[in-house]
Structure 1
């Protein structure tokens, strides 16, 4: 564990990943500050956060965002910059500029660029001979219609938290997906079409030291919340994906955190990779299972080469209460269902019995209860507002294809 108290700057504060990292860092005694374009981001509601710096939005102004962060690092002298979300792409584009101001653990820009898009990751899997659902990549509506056979999954190449993903069971759903792709300018970039594969969704979180796998944590999605991400998790052994994850990290020369979504086919065959996130996604599951991935990132950021820690425990249950409530409201739209879910959450009745809260650990951080309580009150009064509340997590702190293109060009004006 990083022995001294560090000054840590998080690259954003609106995501569930950032909120969980704040808890891990704060409980370890580190000084935590965040920058985010929203003055009311999720991370603000924590007693561990010493300051919130309102920054330009990454998506609309990546150059302004980078300038803001580098000025902040220069004036406040942080020990570590922690790229907790897609902002890592901007930092990887200007590694020397960042490295002279703060410790940071990042791969090369080319490697990050490969991992940040679904098309890039799919091509990497193909080149390494690693398993994924049968996948085709198209760039037009005509091509999409020619190859799309239902049921299938359609994905834009850029997207986070299930944005830009359509599950297409029939032709009517395909027509809706095409209309929404046009509305979102989805055909401006590459579009993936994948065969549907039945089986549970699992997640793997890895930390690498210059291409060498240091640590791996895995968990199974027990139930989905808002946006399709897991609201209930069960930690599992990662043996089934360890060799493949190590091969991906070695091929990319990855330095820092890298996370994956996989499907384990119903016949219990080799898991299939379906997504990659070039960052640490929601680290609390690993923390509860005895593996401190955040501390490993801090040590790598400081230039250390830590030894591989003991593996995480399997069988640890955890949940995100806020995501569960939003998911309940989105599925049913019923006030009664939301109230019943609130009751089960408060009384720790199944499925919350024997499960630890990841997002709002009120006993250690009372201020974190504010967003959860506000979400519960709003949904009990108006369940139909669930979609708008969930969308707040998918804001201007995330990348889109246009922002990536500007970063590729070196932050030229739009």
Structure 2
């Protein structure tokens, strides 16, 4: 696994470990989340994807050349780089990715919005702008403003009035985000849901959906529940078939309060926190391994609806960011530990200490830090936006012809140590 910092990566480690697989993880952080797992047999400290994508690629190539690996399993934005340099990685290990043009299209929020229009699939009313003046002209309150590139809830502003708009404009201009495209979408009231899937050469092989029961910090899910969503399944199947998708594909959806039509709002070319599906009896990680190894799997039946899971770390961060008091934080700890309230019959998915005791370490550290100072919840959450992620500059570097020419001048596996 070429990263171990994300929640999606950490959950994949658990699923792989419970199945008895030998798992090795690379990450630029020596204290990434996946290091706190008994299922990780070996950790490799690698160059940062964000600031040194060429060095990161050469490190991965050199590692795969040094020993045998069955599968290279990108669980976050490393897939963007691997799809770009796909020919160099062929034969080193099994890898399930579509061609770069397809990956690039859904990785970009603007590209995904245009794809939805092309396929006549529902999304909130959306405008794409490239300047502050255009954004002001396109604004209808309330709206959501998004940079075209961004993950883990980065680059998103909820704009309900003029002061929110001024704040968003100031941050967009300060970061230089108008050098790219910015989306303005009408803010739709409804339930946030997510669906993830695995495709084998354009054919849907597995699908799972869940709804948000309670939000954590930054809008992520703290508690989720599996649901059956044939309309979302149909939409993602249409997208995958059109792009001849190969590998994992996930979408974010709003279920409006006044409509039964799901609105697609974002896309991730990977699995996003696959443990809820695993608990609901649909193992998309195992399915992705099969596709990565070149197999043509029998499509999986959908998992059980009504299965509830939670991420205790995200729940504590969310509680601290909303309420900001130690008393409420202690109550939340009690509800999680006792399985009370919304946590009744819910399974811990990120740090399942009953199966993987080292996972208690980051959970305990998070709880202790929040009890000392609940106000640091947002800054703690931002710690996950690390060097394993891409930004606008690194994406531009990977897309450039100079990047391909530079890496082609070196033999596969040749590069510097981290």
Q: Do both share a fold (TM > 0.5)?
A: yes
Task: Describe the SS at the equivalent of 2:264.
Answer: strand
Q: CA deviation at 1:187?
A: 1.1
User: Counterparts of 1:107 and 1:192 in 2: how far apart (Å)?
Assistant: 25
Partner of 1:32: 23
Compute the RMSD of aligned alpha carbons.
1.0
Pairs within 5 Å for 1:7-406? 10-406=1-397
Q: Deviations over 1:127-179 (max 9, x none)?
A: 11110000000011111111112111000001111110000111111111111
Q: What are structure 2's unaligned runs of at least 5 residues?
A: 407-418
Q: In structure 2, what is the Cα distance between the partners aligned to 1:177 and 1:337? A: 31
After TM superposition, the structure 1 stretch with the greater mean CA deviation from structure 2, 266-275 or 188-197, is 266-275
- What residue in structure 1 maps to residue 414 of structure 2? none
CA distance in 1, matches of 2:402, 2:100: 14
- The one-character-per-residue Cα deviations of 1:281-318 (angstroms, maximum 9, x if unpaired) are 00100000000000011011111000012210001011
Verify the 8 A CA contact 1:63 1:411 in the aligned structure 2: no
Greater Cα shift, 205-214 or 339-348: 339-348
Does the Cα contact within 8 Å between 1:161 and 1:228 map onto a contact in 2?
no
SS in structure 2 opposite 1:222?
strand
Give the C-alpha shift of residue 410 in structure 1: 4.3
Q: For 1:258 and 1:107, locate their aligned partners in 2 and report how far apart those are by CA, in whole Å.
A: 10
Q: What SS is found at the alignment partner of 1:100?
A: coil
Query: Structure 1 residue 389: deviation in Å?
Result: 1.1
- The answer (yes or no) to whether the contact 1:216–1:238 under 8 Å persists in 2 is no
Pair 1:19–1:50, CA change in 2 (3 A): same
Give the drift of 1:52: 1.3
Kept in 2, the 8 Å contact 1:211–1:251? The answer is yes
1:134–1:195 contact (8 Å) kept in structure 2: yes
Length-normalised TM-score, structure 2: 0.95
Query: Equivalents in 2 of 1:311, 1:271: separation in Å?
Result: 18
User: Where does residue 412 of structure 2 map in the other structure?
Assistant: none
Distance in 1, matches of 2:58 and 2:218, equals 31
Structure 1 segments (4+ residues) deviating >2 Å: 410-413
Deviations 1:309-330 (A, max 9, x none): 2210001011000000001111
Aligned-partner Cα distance in 1 for 2:169–2:329: 32
Q: 1:11 to 1:410 in 2, by over 3 A?
A: farther
* SS of residue in 2 equivalent to 1:83: coil
**2: CA distance, partners of 1:244 / 1:42:** 33
- 1:181-226 Cα deviation digits (max 9, x unpaired): 1222211210000011111111101110011111110000111112
Question: After superposition, what is the alpha-carbon deviation per residue over 1:261-285, rounded to whole angstroms, capped at 9, x for unaligned?
Answer: 0011112331000000000100100
CA distance in 2, matches of 1:335, 1:180: 31
CA deviation string 1:239-277 (max 9, x = no partner): 121111110001111100000000111123310000000
Instruction: Please state whether the residue corresponding to 2:212 is helix, strand or coil.
Output: strand
TM-superposed deviation, 1:348:
1.4
The aligned residue for residue 3 of structure 1 is none
Taking the aligned partners of 2:117 and 2:62, their CA distance within structure 1 comes to 41
